[in-house]
A and B are shown apart, each in its own frame.
Chain A
Amino acid sequence: MTRRDAGTLAGLVLLLVGVVILATALGTANVPPLRAMRILWDVLTGNEGDYPAWQRTVLVWVRLPRVLTAALVGGGLALTGAVMQAIFRNPMAEPGIIGVSAGAAFGAVTALYLGATTFSMLLAPTGAFIGALGCTFVVYVLASSGRGRLSVTTLLLSGVAVGSIVSALTSFVLALSLRQWEVGRQMLSWLMGDFEGRSWGHVALVFPLTLVGSVWLALHGRELNLLLTGEESALSLGIDVPALRRNLIVWASLVTAAAVSAVGAIGFVGLIVPHLLRLVMGPDNRRLLPAAFLGGAAFLVVADMVCRLASLSDLRPGVVTSLVGGPFFLYLLIRSRRTWAATV
């Protein structure tokens, strides 16, 4: 690892920490930022301060877990996006490409339609999770059912086909619920991604899978590099490509499913962040994967902060990620001389 890359990684860590602190300090409620810092410090050191109880509640129970959820989700999505781009050797690949997002949407929407809200808070995320994994499973089984070896193109097409069917079913359920507009509103809220109300329970839900999955994936950086040179090339260099691909897809799907079921469908993070970092750090996945995690986490925390601070207007994190990520990426691409792909 060159000194420059080590510096970039360290910078990203600092950025993430800074952004998390900033996002916790600012918010809709009128808590002065310095007071917020003091409250957090008191919580850590176990002191009782002389500020209103609601401020402490807001910071510790509302804001901090929301920021941490955003960080975990953003990191997980960005890292799995990089992994998907390596598996498919395609710059347009993103985490939901083999049906995770479509399946999660269907699962969540169905759970909401069946009245999940009234029963338990866990039902919608669980429905989304089952839907995500079920859809991915179907995609994978369909793609590998032929006699030939599983090729990434088949996987991609299978993902598109199954994803389309599942999306159509999701629209159908959505249309069914339009008669009761309230449920429809909840579904739309989920489909657009929402950080409102994410608490420590959500952090606990997302943390194990994101941690284990991300570590596992990041440790396979070298293998991902070899995958990038082509399937036969990787085989001849000693990689059991089918097994590796299967494992990568399993873990990437798990991490993505965990992220999406906690907060809904947030696009663009898995697509843009790896690209941005690749322009800076190069394609070596051993460095890119950890950097993608850090960058994605910071990105989504900032996006959530923007949503929160835009008071009384209905901004969603997905909108912010697209509006911010897209133009910035274009700018970098035009300016960059280190091209991503030499030939089309």
Chain B
Amino acid sequence: MAFLELNDVWFEVNGKAIVREVSLSPPPGSFLALIGPNGSGKTTVLRLLAGLLSPTRGTASLEGRDMRQWSRREIARRVAVVPQDTHLDFAFTVRDIVAMGRHAHLGRFQPEGAHDRAVIDQAMAQTDILDLRARLVTELSGGERQRVLIARSLATEAPTILLDEPTASLDVAHALETYELCRRLAREGKTIVMAVHDLNAAARYADRVAVMQGGRCVAQGRPEEVMNERLLAEVFGVQVEMYRSRGGWMSFVFHLGPVATEVAEYPR
């Protein structure tokens, strides 16, 4: 019984199919990267996984039951979402935002307890924002806000975390830290599903990759199996060269227009 599963799912808006026939079941304790060009349906798949959208056809299920039968509270305890848009209009402190993640665990009149505080602090430590705890989110940089939202999702203690291009506004160092963190979380047993633009990162950090094109999932599997030049060239519409870095992982270079098709090893 898969934890989160999309089974032959279609999602249509105004007769137009955004997602077609997608079947996806991220294995627990793994890092699944969703890659694909703009408009391929990555964000929609994430929202279907989160139960924020209902499939027009097919089923989205959580722990074997249809998503629609779960209450939002129950879903929130199991699936956390880190949105792409980090826009936070209101002058809450960082700690306030992270503490919001505990909502699904607290009763109506129940204030925060010791366990809640511990979880919040640990979430902030994991994302390295402890020193920002009293700052207002409106004063933070985009990257800092992103880490705050990741911390919030950690505070929910949900075993599955869905992230929609979390490194879009991060610099290189912070982006790598985010990927490292997600891989570490996956090792600790969490299920990470992340939509990424950065194919190199996907190849390097993900355990599994799902490639989206035109609303379909055209390939799923380990990066080594799935991410070859021909598939990427076809999906993204560019010329692709694959190299091996010193560490041995795949890295890609892209061109518009024709290029020599021999695969060259990175010169040692």
Contact = CB atoms under 8 A, between A and B. Distances in A.
Interface of A: 89, 219, 222-223, 225-226, 228-230, 232-233, 235-241, 282-284, 338-343
Given A89-B89, A238-B75, A282-B91, 14 more contacts: A222-B103, A225-B96, A226-B100, A228-B90, A229-B88, A229-B97, A229-B100, A236-B50, A237-B100, A240-B71, A338-B91, A340-B91, A342-B91, A343-B87
A235 B71 contact: no
Contacts, number: 78
Interface in B80-98: 80-81, 83, 85, 87-92, 96-97
Contact of A219 (B52, B77, B90, B109): B109
Contact of B101 (A232, A237, A241): A237
Nearest to A283: B90
A225 B137 CA distance: 14
A227 B1 CA distance: 33
Interface in B139-175: 139, 152, 156
6 contacts: A225-B92, A237-B76, A240-B71, A240-B72, A342-B139, A343-B87
Contacts of A282: 91-92
A178 B90 CA distance: 47
What does DSSP make chain A's interface, helix, strand, loop or mixed?
loop
B139 to A, nearest CB: 7
A232 B83 contact: yes
B136 interface: yes
B104 interface: yes
Contacts of A237: 76, 100-101, 103-104, 152, 156
Nearest to A344: B89
A226 B194 CA distance: 23
A172 B238 CA distance: 66
B117 interface: no
Nearest to A342: B138
Contact of A239 (B72, B83, B109): B72
Nearest to A244: B72
Interface string B91-123: 110001100110110101100000000000000
B92 A236 contact: no
Contacts of A228: 89-90, 92
